[in-house]
């Protein structure tokens, strides 16, 4: 199954169940804010693993932004609702679709907690997948945009770890 067919398979599920639509809209649009709030709470209430994850997230987010901006210099994919002329379930700018910024940032959070073996890692991984599927479901991203977001998050984390090692910063050891 190709990218567009898979997109329409997932997007085709929308507007059939108000409950599912609400769950997916929340995941696509608002779950990232809940994740940031949870990261903030875990900074104060969590242990050493959660504090290390926060530091890694703070180091990685600017790298994610730079990687995405770099991709946009060489590659522009219009969003599905622009290409196929339909109204998505959420309001979104008609800017570049690839990679998904929401998914990239959620993958940074999820993989940072997973890297440090925090007990919160599985919850953030679930959030990451929910955001990714939600972004397709509401009509603002293709499946490859989501996979691209996962990879941008992982690659950005690896770059942040290399920079940390080059600078000999011992906060994350």
23, pLDDT greater than 80: yes
CATH architecture of the domain 3-167 equals Up-down Bundle (1.20)
Reported as half-sphere exposure (CB side, CA atoms, 13 A), residue 123 has a value of 11
Residues 147 and 13: their CA atoms lie apart, in Å, by 20
Domain ranges of the chain: 3-167
Nearest residue to 107 via CA among 72, 157, 65, 67: 157
Would the pTM of this model clear 0.85, i.e. be above it? yes
Taking only the tens place, the pLDDT of each residue in 87-101 is 999 999 999 999 999
pLDDT-derived band at 1 (thresholds 50, 70, 90) equals confident
What are the backbone dihedrals phi and psi of residue 125, each rounded to the nearest 5 degrees, phi first?
-65, -40
Angle 82-87-90 from CA coordinates, rounded to 5°: 105
Taking only the tens place, the pLDDT of each residue in 44-89 is 999 999 999 999 999 999 999 999 999 999 999 999 999 999 999 9
């Amino acid at each position: 199954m190709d990218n567009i067919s898979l997109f329409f398979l997932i997007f085709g599920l929308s507007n059939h169940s108000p409950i599912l639509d609400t769950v997916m809209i929340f995941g696509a649009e608002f779950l990232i804010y809940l994740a940031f709030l949870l990261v903030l709470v875990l900074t104060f209430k969590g242990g050493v693993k959660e504090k290390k994850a926060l530091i890694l997230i703070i180091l990685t987010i600017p790298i994610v932004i730079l990687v995405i901006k770099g991709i946009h210099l060489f590659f522009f994919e219009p969003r599905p609702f622009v290409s196929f002329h339909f109204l998505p379930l959420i309001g979104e700018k008609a800017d570049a679709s690839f990679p998904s910024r929401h998914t990239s940032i959620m993958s940074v959070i999820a993989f940072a907690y997973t890297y440090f073996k925090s007990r919160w890692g599985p919850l953030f991984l679930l959030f990451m997948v929910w955001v990714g599927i939600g972004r397709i479901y509401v009509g603002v991203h293709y499946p490859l945009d989501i996979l691209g977001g996962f990879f941008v998050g992982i690659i950005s984390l690896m770059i942040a770890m290399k920079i940390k090692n080059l600078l000999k910063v011992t906060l994350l050891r």
